[in-house]
Amino acid sequence: MIKVEKLVKSFHGQPVLRGVDLEVPQGSITIIIGRSGGGKSVFLKHLIGLLRPDSGRVVIDGTDVTHLEGGELDRIRQRYGVVFQGGALFDSQTCGENVAFPLREKTRLSGREVAQRVEASLAQVGLEGVGRKYPAEISGGMRKRVAIALALVTEPQIVFFDEPTTGLDPILVNSIHHLIRDLHRRHGFTAIMVSHEIPEIFEIADTVAMLHEGRIVEHGPPDAIQRSANPVVQQFIRGEPEGH
Amino acid sequence: MPDPAPSAALRPVEALGDWTISIIASLGRFLTFFLRALGSLVTPPFKFNVFVDRVDYIGFRSLLIILLTGAFTGMVLGLQIFLTLSRFGSEAFLGPAVALSLIRELGPVLAALMITGRAGSALTAELGIMRITEQIDALEVMALSPFRYLVVPSILAGLVTFPLMTALFDVIGILGGYLVGVKLLGLSAGTYFGEMQTFVDMRDIMTGFWKSVLFGVVVTWVATYKGFHVGHGAEGVARATTQAVVLASVLILMWDYFLGSVLP
Ligand SMILES: Nc1ncnc2c1ncn2[C@@H]1O[C@H](COP(=O)(O)OP(=O)(O)OP(=O)(O)O)[C@@H](O)[C@H]1O
Ligand SMILES: [Mg+2]
């Protein structure tokens, strides 16, 4: 279980997170929604230890990871898979080498086993045969899918997705969502996902949390969110312009 | 408004204080960066294949520019020193004069400046782009230390390639001096090389060697540090690249003077 308590962060005196509280039960899919620029990526980066909060803490399975460093932090990170908002593929390596990278560096699998798992992982996201291409040679949507294959290839226990489907066509959005749900059923990982795909996310989320002005203003199962009486939430999920 | 008069008077002092603090803070970061690199150097595993790749990147791909600048530097030296020496009728010392200038000073400094321009800037830009596109963050969350994969191999490659490139620069430069002094201006080859052997000793060569080793570390250290600490966007990368080249060049010349005065 991931537990976030009163997380506060500002950049150059500009508050971004003003006290975020959130609990993510083990094995669930939690989706975070909120305005662009509202601090969702910043929040995720606190969970994976890339940013340190001004105050507050992050507890994972009973361990306070907020101030872990070095080997201890690495041990927690072994269990993570992360899909960055921009994909963050190594552009000096082919897509196949990218996906193979954590396996080569972190496991003792033989070359053939690595190749098999890479191919299977790419096939899962519908990208058979792109292994030889460089990230710069494929479309933005394909890069996102390679990033997903890369994040999942090590079979992590906790997966963080930062907008894995933004910029994909509706068919791909659905197929990625199905993929995440299928993999989730099979591997039972805990997933925290930032997404703007409303209403599609209501089909795969166990919990939806809305981040607004640095706090979680609403948090619950999808149907509760959809019926929420909070005007901010209603406005957001209906996509109404501000002031209505 | 709480009394503005004293604060206005103190503003320059305050600015100076802020400036001093920020300088000391960045010096601290710069040093810590190197210590962290040292830390991942002494703990296994060592990424040998990345190191080889960096040797290629910093050294091998700088070959052409080193050959070109080395040859012309030697030719310029040959011509100018010959003209000067002929006023005293001591052209015979052209060989040692060219060799000593190259081996003690110009070889290490010019080779380092050339590699800074070619490979140091590219290294900063590459790491800077990796930083702003979150590739460095990605390494970190895979629990793979970016220091181990990006910084240590580059600094070690600098350490190994700078002396090699400097030696090459020296040799080519001496041949350039030979071309001008002997082939063009008519000095005898025996005098050129013979006097060189008499006057150049191991101490001179070691001075040049230690300089080049130090420059190799300084340049790659500055380049990787600046790449790691870029600001935002393409502009941030551009600025970091410029700063890396300027800072590395200044440090090369400063250290050259300093080492020149302490080394024998
Ligand atoms: N490293 C940083 N330094 C300074 N400010 C930052 C940094 N990272 C993020 N911010 C600021 O924090 C705010 C939140 O950014 P964040 O990327 O988390 O937004 P987001 O909710 O993920 O938006 P989007 O949906 O567009 O991805 C922004 O105003 C951004 O300028
Ligand atoms: Mg974001």
Residues in B touching A101 (Cβ below 8 Å): 142
Contacts for B262 with CB less than 8 Å, ≥ 6 apart? none
| Predicted local confidence at residue B5, as pLDDT | 55
- Residue with CA nearest ligand 1 atom 4: A11
Residue B38 lies in a domain: no
List, for residues A50-65, the tens digit of each pLDDT value: 999 999 999 998 889 8
Residue B158 lies in a domain: yes
Residue A84 lies in a domain: no
| Predicted local confidence at residue B216, as pLDDT | 95
CA-based nearest residue in chain B for residue A51: B137
Which of A111, A134, A155 finishes a domain? A155
| Predicted local confidence at residue A243, as pLDDT | 54
Judge if A239 and A169 occupy the same domain: yes
Give the count of domains, chain B.
1
Residue A1 lies in a domain: yes
CA of A39 relative to ligand 2 center, distance in Å: 7
Residue B1 lies in a domain: no
Q: Quick one: angle between helices B4-42 and B152-178, nearest 10?
A: 90
pLDDT of residue B184 exceeding 60, the answer is yes
Judge if A167 and A193 occupy the same domain: yes
Lookup: tokens for B195: 């006097």
Judge if A109 and A229 occupy the same domain: no
| Predicted local confidence at residue B6, as pLDDT | 60
In order, the DSSP letters of A93-160 are S-HHHHHHHHHHHH----HHHHHHHHHHHHHHTT-TT-TTS-GGGS-HHHHHHHHHHHHHTT--SEEE
Residue B39 lies in a domain: no
Give the count of domains, chain A.
2
Residue A101 lies in a domain: yes
Judge if A163 and A72 occupy the same domain: yes
List, for residues A92-128, the tens digit of each pLDDT value: 899 999 999 999 888 888 889 999 999 988 988 888 8
| Rounded Cα–Cα distance for residues B70 and B40 (Å) | 35
Judge if A145 and A182 occupy the same domain: no
- Please tell me if residue B142 touches chain A, with a CB cutoff of 8 Å: yes
pLDDT of residue B172 exceeding 80, the answer is yes
Judge if A150 and A164 occupy the same domain: no
Range of the domain at A122: 89-155
| Predicted local confidence at residue A142, as pLDDT | 86
Residue A69 lies in a domain: yes
List, for residues B60-93, the tens digit of each pLDDT value: 999 999 999 999 999 999 999 999 998 988 888 9
**Whose CA is closest to B150, among B167, B166, B131?**
B131
In order, the DSSP letters of A201-242 are HHHH-SEEEEEETTEEEEEE-HHHHHT---HHHHHHHHTPPT
CA-based nearest residue in chain B for residue A44: B141
List, for residues A3-29, the tens digit of each pLDDT value: 999 999 999 989 999 999 999 999 999
Judge if A27 and A147 occupy the same domain: no
Residue B32 lies in a domain: no
CA of A43 relative to ligand 1 center, distance in Å: 9
Q: Residues 72..131 of B with a Cβ closer than 8 Å to A: which?
A: 130
| Predicted local confidence at residue B1, as pLDDT | 46
| Rounded Cα–Cα distance for residues A29 and A26 (Å) | 9
Residues in A touching B140 (Cβ below 8 Å): 50, 77
CB of A11 sitting under 6 A from ligand 1:
yes
Q: What is the DSSP letter of B46?
A: P
Residue B29 lies in a domain: no
- Please tell me if residue B56 touches chain A, with a CB cutoff of 8 Å: no
CA of A11 relative to ligand 1 center, distance in Å: 9
List, for residues A214-241, the tens digit of each pLDDT value: 999 989 999 988 888 888 888 888 888 8
Residue A36 lies in a domain: yes
Give the ligand at the shortest distance from the Cα of A38: 1
- Please tell me if residue A3 touches chain B, with a CB cutoff of 8 Å: no
Residue A230 lies in a domain: yes
Judge if A136 and A218 occupy the same domain: no
Residue A175 lies in a domain: yes
Stronger pLDDT, B263 or B85, i.e. the higher one: B85
Q: Using omega within 30 degrees of 0 as the cis cutoff, is the peptide bond preceding B45 cis?
A: yes
Q: Quick one: angle between helices B121-132 and B202-228, nearest 10?
A: 20
Q: Using omega within 30 degrees of 0 as the cis cutoff, is the peptide bond preceding A199 cis?
A: yes
Provide the CATH number for the domain around residue A31.
Answer: 3.40.50.300
Q: Which of A18, A42, A166 to mutate to test the pocket of ligand 1 (most atoms within 8 A of CB)?
A: A42
List, for residues A145-159, the tens digit of each pLDDT value: 899 999 988 889 999
Residue B252 lies in a domain: yes
Range of the domain at B91: 45-262
**Whose CA is closest to A162, among B137, B126, B149?**
B137
List, for residues A29-55, the tens digit of each pLDDT value: 999 999 988 899 999 999 998 999 999
CA-based nearest residue in chain B for residue A93: B135
Residue B14 lies in a domain: no
pLDDT of residue B168 exceeding 60, the answer is yes
